[in-house]
Amino acid sequence: MSESKSDTEKILKLNEVDLMVKKTAEEKEKYRSIPRGKFKSGRVWKEANHKFSNLVLQNSQRSTWQKKMELKNHKKELKKYEDRLKEEKKEKKLELVRRQKLNEERRKENERKAEIVQTVKNKAKLKRIKKKMLRKVAAAKKSKSKKPQNLN
């Protein structure tokens, strides 16, 4: 008999707890259905804050070890590819700079070769020449002194 009494008491207590839970759930639902007033700030589009503890995390956010390793390998491959592209770009730029320097040197050499040179035998004439002409003569001397040519 004592067992049956305790069982019935447990059942009654459970029923009471269930009723209380249902009532609180109904009350919460009742309050949720009541439209909220206008916020003091005027930002009506903002939602009410929820407790962090009420948030439910989804298990789909967790990934398996295999997926993690696949993702890691994929990232490594992307990094290698990116590095290779950067290296190619750098090499192209260096090649361009090298070609530009060669072209500049070739252009200067061609200018020097194309110069028409007249030797001044009378040194007294140099004193009478204007300053602009003297600069040109000096430039011609410098350019010739850089690479002496054989005049056979």
pTM of this prediction exceeds 0.75: no
Question: 116-150: b or e for each residue (b if 16 or more CB lie within 10 Å)?
Answer: eeeeeeeeeeeeeeeeeeeeeeeeeeeeeeeeeee
Please check the confidence at residue 12 and state whether its pLDDT lies above 50.
yes
Please check the confidence at residue 49 and state whether its pLDDT lies above 70.
yes
Q: What is the pLDDT of residue 127?
A: 75
Ranked by mean pLDDT, which of 29-33, 35-39, 114-118 comes out on top?
114-118
Ranked by mean pLDDT, which of 33-37, 51-55, 75-79 comes out on top?
75-79
Q: What is the pLDDT of residue 150?
A: 47
